[in-house]
């Protein structure tokens, strides 16, 4: 059967040094299943990128009936709103994929625009139980739960029990993800474990990168900043680290956390957004209060002293990650797109 031609609207900017986003990963998965996927946009300038996305909708309106729209909660939220308008104008079925961990804020603070955009969507794809819960509470019914996905065969599992205080943080350097907290946690952890060290992987998005580098230098902390790495490079880096930490203030269901679970790295994360829906505390990860450096450090200390807990979390984390494997998820996408 000939598959549909799909226009996928999102930020495909990894070639410009940004983090690989879902439009670049899910797009590949769908192509491998026989769909013709056209992606927009890879233009770096924000205004020109928006114009390129609109151009793609206009030029392809007679060739496709389905438009996927990665929908975030910060500035890029408005990209989705504008593309939704053009899709409705041309009577195209559009499907927002709800990526933004702070979208519940948008539901409360931009209710009319949200109702027009989400309410008129063919479906809203919800990758986390957290957002599913909030959107149902807001009265939306055109929802489909499809989790974020990885290929677990590409993530070699190392079963862990005894740990060293080698911490790994993987995310874009943006204030939203609170990277400075990771360095302050390292500083606190060194009081008990002087040998503790931290590697931070990810591209710069705002001034938080400079803040982190300055703080680490001023306090003589062993922090390695790798910049952006390819997926293969950071997966290889995971072998020499023992604990994956997530210090974010808002989040949905981050792929980096699922990937860490697949590698067998025990995850310690702030208890925000979709994280308590992803992590079962003390079972396949550890949750700790938002912005609380002391509590976060205490959780790390307990983990370092408790091999049985490490083994449980490492083993269960891999099982959790396997539930996000593409071979498990692709049927859900086919049901929507076909």
Residue-wise DSSP of 96-132: EEE--TTHHHHHHHSHHHHHHHHHTSS-EEE-SHHHH
Tell me: do 214 and 82 sit in the same domain.
Answer: no
User: Which residue is it, tokens 């989040």?
Assistant: 251
Tell me: do 169 and 237 sit in the same domain.
Answer: yes
Tell me: do 295 and 187 sit in the same domain.
Answer: yes
Tell me: do 195 and 72 sit in the same domain.
Answer: no
Under 8 Å between Cβ of 4 and 64: yes
Q: What is the pLDDT of residue 22?
A: 80
Tell me: do 99 and 73 sit in the same domain.
Answer: yes
| CATH code, 93 | 3.40.50.2000
Confidence of residue 18 (pLDDT cuts 50, 70, 90): low
- Which residue in 63, 55, 60 sits closest to 4, CA to CA? 63
Which residues form the domain of 23? 5-147+326-337
Structural domain count, the chain: 2
What's the pLDDT tens digit per position in 109-160? 999 999 999 999 999 999 999 999 999 999 999 999 999 999 999 999 999 9
Under 8 Å between Cβ of 215 and 293: no
Tell me: do 175 and 78 sit in the same domain.
Answer: no
Tell me: do 305 and 193 sit in the same domain.
Answer: yes
Structure tokens belonging to residue 151? 């290929």
Under 8 Å between Cβ of 97 and 71: yes
Tell me: do 131 and 172 sit in the same domain.
Answer: no
Q: What are phi and psi of 84, to 5 degrees?
A: -60, -40
- Alpha-carbon distances of 224 from 147, 167, 213, 230, rounded to whole Å: 32, 10, 9, 16
Statement: residue 182 has pLDDT above 90:
yes
Tell me: do 51 and 164 sit in the same domain.
Answer: no
What's the pLDDT tens digit per position in 203-258? 998 999 999 999 999 999 999 999 999 889 999 999 999 999 999 998 888 999 99
Helix (H) or strand (E) holding 243: strand 243-246
How many other C-beta atoms are found inside a 10 Å radius of the C-beta of residue 162?
Answer: 9
Angstrom distance (rounded) from CA 267 to CA 169: 10
Tell me: do 245 and 99 sit in the same domain.
Answer: no
């Amino acid at each position: 059967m000939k598959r549909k031609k799909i226009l996928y609207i999102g930020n495909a900017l990894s070639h410009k040094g940004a983090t690989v986003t879902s439009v670049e990963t899910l797009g590949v998965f769908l192509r491998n299943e026989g769909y013709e996927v056209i992606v927009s946009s890879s233009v770096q300038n924000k205004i020109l990128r928006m114009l390129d996305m609109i151009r793609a909708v206009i030029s392809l309106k007679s060739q496709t009936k389905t438009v996927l729209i990665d929908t975030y909660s910060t500035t890029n939220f408005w990209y989705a709103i504008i593309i939704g308008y053009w899709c409705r104008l041309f009577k195209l079925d559009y499907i927002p994929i709800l990526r933004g961990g702070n979208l519940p804020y948008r539901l409360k603070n931009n209710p009319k625009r949200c109702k027009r955009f989400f309410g008129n969507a063919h479906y809203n794809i919800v990758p986390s139980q957290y957002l599913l819960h909030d959107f149902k509470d807001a009265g939306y019914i055109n929802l489909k739960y499809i989790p974020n996905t990885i290929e677990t065969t590409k993530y070699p599992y190392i079963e862990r029990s005894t740990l060293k205080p080698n911490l790994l943080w993987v995310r874009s350097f943006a204030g939203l993800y609170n990277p400075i907290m990771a360095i302050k946690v390292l500083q606190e952890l060194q009081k008990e474990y002087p040998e503790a060290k931290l590697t931070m992987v990810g591209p710069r998005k705002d001034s938080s990168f400079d803040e982190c580098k300055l703080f680490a230098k001023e306090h003589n902390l062993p922090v390695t900043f790798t910049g952006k790495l390819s997926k293969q490079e950071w997966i290889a880096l995971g072998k020499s680290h023992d604990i994956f930490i997530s210090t974010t203030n808002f989040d949905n269901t981050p792929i980096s956390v699922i990937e860490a679970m697949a590698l067998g790295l025990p995850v310690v994360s702030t208890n925000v957004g979709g994280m308590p829906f992803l992590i079962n505390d003390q079972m396949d990860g550890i949750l700790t209060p938002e912005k609380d450096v002391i509590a976060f450090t205490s959780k790390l200390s307990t983990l370092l002293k408790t091999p049985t807990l490490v083994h449980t979390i490492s083993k269960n984390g891999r099982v959790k990650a396997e539930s996000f494997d593409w071979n498990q998820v692709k049927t859900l996408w086919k049901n929507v797109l076909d």
